[in-house]
Amino acid sequence: MATVTLNPLRSRGTISRNIYGHFSEHLGRCIYQGIYVGEDSPIPNVRGIRTDVVQALKKIGVPVLRWPGGCFADEYHWRDGIGPKESRKRMVNTNWGGVVEDNSFGVHEFMDLCAQVGCEPYINANVGSGTVQEMAEWVEYMNSEGDSTVVRGRRANGRQEAWGVKYWGIGNESWGCGGNMRPEYYADVYRRYQTFCRTYGENRPYRIACGPSDFNYRWTEVLMREAAQFMDGLSAHYYTLCGDTWANKGSATDFTTEEYYKTLKRASRMEELISGHDAVMTRYDPEKRIGLIVDEWGTWYDVEPGTNPGFLYQQNTLRDAMVAAVTLNIFNRHCDRVAMANIAQTVNVLQAVILTEGEKMVLTPTWHVFDLYRAHQDGREVDCAVSTGTTGTEAWQLDRISASASEKDGVYTVTAANLDAEGEEELRLTGIRFSQAQARVLCGEIHEKNDFDSSPVTTAPLEIRVENNGDAVLTLPPCAVAEITLS
């Protein structure tokens, strides 16, 4: 038996809805085919954007979407993606598969996508191969109402009012594909670029500096020391691999139970990563004004056999659902520092919530986790102490239960995952006298997945009882994640 003890008097604050954000890059079949099929496609669409995908994203309440990359962002020139489609510049996507990018999905199409989904845009500007002027004019194009040539251009392209884009990333992975810079150099570059990321009227940009990869605390230290006063957010990227090298990341579907635990153990290191970067940030920003923006996270396996290695297409099993459950619980518990997170990536790439094949669409187990966690968005985080045994193997030992909790209008939501591959676990929720309880669960054998011919993985109601003392008790099946609603 495991116990989750809620303490409603202790909270780290509000869980920003943006923790449930997504990331869509011009990579493989994420944008083209996955999101954008063009107006002439037989696949139902609104102005070229797939209706089925938009509906699926709306259902999980996607709050914010990062675009156009990733590595692609530092080769993207926004002016190539505006104006009549037939005259848009063609380029080769050198980062991802060497395919032709015809720029038919550009700035206006992205903003249309965000409007259809009902989410905020988060634009990652080009620092690596762009100029300050190019970025400054992109901000102006999106946010200004002035009568400038740039704004007249927007109006000529069909958009009268400024969109008022709030979230701006200044470079992506500037330590790697974004320019291979040293932190000292990037800190100065960042200071310069952000100066020209201007406020227009009420539209004050939330400026996000490129942060560290993984556990590179030195990068965070230098950025905070040199540029903290100029930033609103600092990004961080962390991917979970199962294999031990980038050449051998492991299979998405063919893995042993040992590898299941190894993957979850590695995903759980998000706790150490956030605590570590938070500690560095706190030395310079004790008020926690600057948000840690985990704008790339998720599993990264070898591509599905027979697919383009540059497209990063991978299947998604219950193991991925458990990675998402553990990670989102960690973000919730660190909501005082984590202001946004963006799973990589929305459709057909890495730990996707949606897979498509022609007109067919599949909701992955990871999509269902976002569905189960939706109630946490903008909830007040509630401290929950988890008393649990361990699971895994000698080499990959981890807590059996992962949980987080929030409250809205007197209703508590606890999300709890049983990471054990084979054994069920009784769970007692205590600390508050509850009178009502409901639960939904996603569970199954660790390899189970949804595919284009059958989608067995879905949520189902889970039995839960409230005892005379006000505790709620339920049994979590093996490899399960549940949303528990209590009042």
Contacts with ligand AHR by CB under 6 A lie at 25, 69-71, 172-173, 296, 344-345, 350
What tokens were used for 223?
């950025």
**Do residues 376 and 404 make contact, with C-beta atoms less than 8 angstroms apart?**
yes
Nearer to ligand AHR, 234 or 439 (CB): 234
Q: Determine which helix (DSSP H) or strand (DSSP E) holds 327, and give its type and residue range.
A: helix 318-333
CA dist., res. 228 & res. 139, Å (int): 21
C-beta of 296: minimal distance to ligand AHR in Å? 5
Cβ closest to ligand AHR, residue 43 vs residue 177: 177
Identity of the residue, 285 or 295, whose beta carbon is nearer to ligand AHR in the bound complex: 295
d(CA 367, CA 55): 12
Question: Least distance to ligand AHR from the beta carbon of 172, Å?
Answer: 5
Distance from C-alpha of 441 to C-alpha of 10, rounded to nearest angstrom: 27
Beta carbon of residue 347, minimum distance to ligand AHR (angstroms, whole number): 13
Q: First and final CA of the chain: distance in angstroms? A: 22
Is the Cβ of residue 140 or residue 296 nearer to ligand AHR in the bound state? Answer: 296
What residues pair up with 484 in beta bridges, in sequence order? 414, 439
CA nearest to 343, candidates 314, 379, 370, 307: 370
CB closer to ligand AHR, 45 vs 351: 351
Write down the least CB distance from residue 10 to ligand AHR, Å.
36
C-alpha to C-alpha distance for 265 and 244, rounded to whole angstroms: 13
CB of 213 to ligand AHR, least distance (A): 8
Give the Cβ contact number of residue 98 at 10 Å: 10
Instruction: Enumerate the β-bridge partners of residue 101.
Output: 91
Q: Which residues are catalytic?
A: 173, 296
Contact present, 465 and 434 (Cβ < 8 Å): no
Q: What residue is closest to ligand AHR based on CB? A: 70
Q: Could you tell me which residues are beta bridge partners of residue 355?
A: 362
